[in-house]
Amino acid sequence: MPVVYYVRHGETDWNAEHRLQGQHDSALNATGRAQALQCGEILRDLLARDGRKPDELDYTASPLLRARASMELVRTALGLDPAGYGVDARLAEGSFGRWEGLTFAEVKARDAVVLASRKHNRWNFVPPGGESYAQVMARVADWHASLARDSVVVAHLGIARALLAHLGFALPEEAVRAPIEQNVIYVFADGSMARYA
């Protein structure tokens, strides 16, 4: 199984405001740009420790702006051409449908009954017009099966959680609550996940 160096995109204003972002195409804020550069520096040190060169890996990002901008900053920190990476639509964040742009407090005020049903089965819950974690995992599994070699991936919180479940590192009900931070490198290798900050 190829090694995956996983980066969650840097912070956006909607992250800072605790808004459901989903597939809304938000830009990084200043904090997010600093986080992405920090991830590039952490990755540079990890690769050097392991005697690896950055250009030996594949690089793939979600098509959403916040992930692409983060990838370009990571590659800059690695001394690589910022634009020299691929984009894969299967890595786009799960959709929150009609809830995108809302805080949980706003969702609760608008759709309290629907939101309450989420408590019993977060993995299979589908927001109005959106996707469940189970649906997201299907495309993540398809993407993961296509990996040809060790890869650096920049994507999203929901994608990382789906990958955790797909790889069997967490049960679905655990994966939906897994904290995936924005200034950390997660390494999926040898049947386990390691965290580097």
Kindly report the backbone phi and psi dihedral angles of residue 55, in degrees, each rounded to the nearest multiple of 5, phi listed first: -80, 0
151 contacts 60 by C-beta, under 8 angstroms: yes
Q: Which of 11, 93, 100, 131 is catalytic?
A: 93
187 contacts 163 by C-beta, under 8 angstroms: no
Q: Which of 9, 144, 156, 166 is catalytic?
A: 9
Sign of torsion over alpha carbons 130, 139, 156, 70:
negative
For 100-141, give the DSSP string.
Answer: TT-BHHHHHHHHHHHHHHHTT-TTT---TTS--HHHHHHHHH
**93 catalytically annotated:** yes
**131 catalytically annotated:** no
Contacts of 14 (CB under 8 A, 6+ apart): 21, 24, 26, 101
Catalytic residue numbers read 9, 93
